Amino acid sequence: MIGFKSKLLNATLAFTAAIPLATAGMFTSAGSAQAAALNGEIQFNGGFTAGPGSSQITFSQDALTFTPQPITPIAIGSTTGNFSAFNSGNIGNIISFSSKVADNPFIDFGSLTYPGFILPGTDTSSITDGLNTFTLTSSSYKLNQDGLNVGIGVALFGYFTSATGEISNGGGNLTFQVNNASVAGVNSILSSGGSISNLTFSGGTFATVPEPTTLLGLGIVGVGMVMSRRRKTVA
């Protein structure tokens, strides 16, 4: 009996000692992940390219296509979190509603000398390098009558990848409008296979990363499993 109590006490002390180490490790891991993963919010508008002009959308029943190409710049306005490192981005060529896919990465974030402006000689490498990106996994659109105009809202669902490879869940939206139109009229154009061009747009995205408490809970469960195996060994 004394031997059993001694083993039980040793196991208990070992478990107690392991908790601070595990929690410290989990908080360090969580802090590192949060620092590296993209998190926060971005608001943006279409940018401008010398020659082609402003970034625009062509809207059809099955897809959105973006011009100019190969780069459709966006100008980032307000940001939160570590998105503050960026002032511009390059948006992908197409969103396909029928197949729920897009040209990915859908947005490549970076910085330009002037937010969203590509002028002769502008270095665009940071918005075409495939780092700090938003990948679109699905999308849908909705038409709303807004006075004499039709507002179109496009929901975006996907995930962000940081320059160091960390993934964070996220989503966002694109908004634009057709002036002097009705929902019925726009639907008639789309259903007949037509499209509406020269539409300017704005939008926003947000990213979330795991909470440290979630990682901490997983760490304590892991310690418990280790100590359970240890008790079986010493019993």
* Overall pTM > 0.85: no
140: left (phi over 0), alpha (psi -120 to 50) or beta: beta
Q: How far, in Å, CA of 115 to CA of 129, rounded?
A: 17
User: Which pLDDT does position 143 carry in this prediction?
Assistant: 97
Task: Tell me the per-residue pLDDT of 193-233, one tens digit each, with 9 for 90 and over.
Answer: 999 999 999 999 999 875 554 444 444 444 443 333 334 34
CB 235 within 8 A of CB 228: no
User: Which pLDDT does position 16 carry in this prediction?
Assistant: 44
Task: Tell me the per-residue pLDDT of 31-70, one tens digit each, with 9 for 90 and over.
Answer: 444 558 999 999 999 999 998 899 999 999 999 999 999 9
Going from N- to C-terminal start, the domains of the chain cover 2-34+213-234, 39-208
